[in-house]
Amino acid sequence: MKTKLIYFAFGFFSSLIIVGVYNYFNEEKSIKNNPYFVLNRDYNVGELGLLKKGTKLKFDKGMSEGFGRFILYLNIKGGDISKEKETDVIIPYWLNEANTNDSLK
């Protein structure tokens, strides 16, 4: 009886591990196939402005600290911009959920 219980427990926990690993890799695969996400509410971008609900972001990387990094593509026609001398510089901006009273500054 004890042996059957040990085999059952081993099989049960093994199946949990297999299902967990399968779900982990399946989720990673689905993000790679469709890495775009849509904001479900408005977010403040520090003092820069507001990202509106419905803005599409491309998933870049999940961090071990529990947050994700996303890419926002912007199209600019004309405008007064200059090229930076540094390359591969990432400037992080933290998004905070916008209150309904917030407006662009």
pLDDT digits (tens, 9 = 90+) for 38-61: 999 998 887 788 889 999 998 888
Task: Tell me the residue range of the domain where 8 lies.
Answer: 1-34
Residues 52, 91, single domain; the answer is yes
Residues 25, 40, single domain; the answer is no
Residues 53, 93, single domain; the answer is yes
Q: Which residue has the higher pLDDT, 40 or 91?
A: 40
Residues 74, 46, single domain; the answer is yes
Residues 28, 46, single domain; the answer is no
Residue 70 near residue 88, CB atoms below 8 Å: no
pLDDT of residue 101: 61
pLDDT of residue 63: 83
Residues 71-83: pLDDT tens digits? 888 888 888 888 7
* Domain count within the chain: 2
Rounded to two decimals, what is the model's pTM? 0.53
Largest CA distance in the chain: 79
Residues 56, 103, single domain; the answer is yes
Q: Kind of pairing, strands 36-38 and 43-45?
A: unpaired
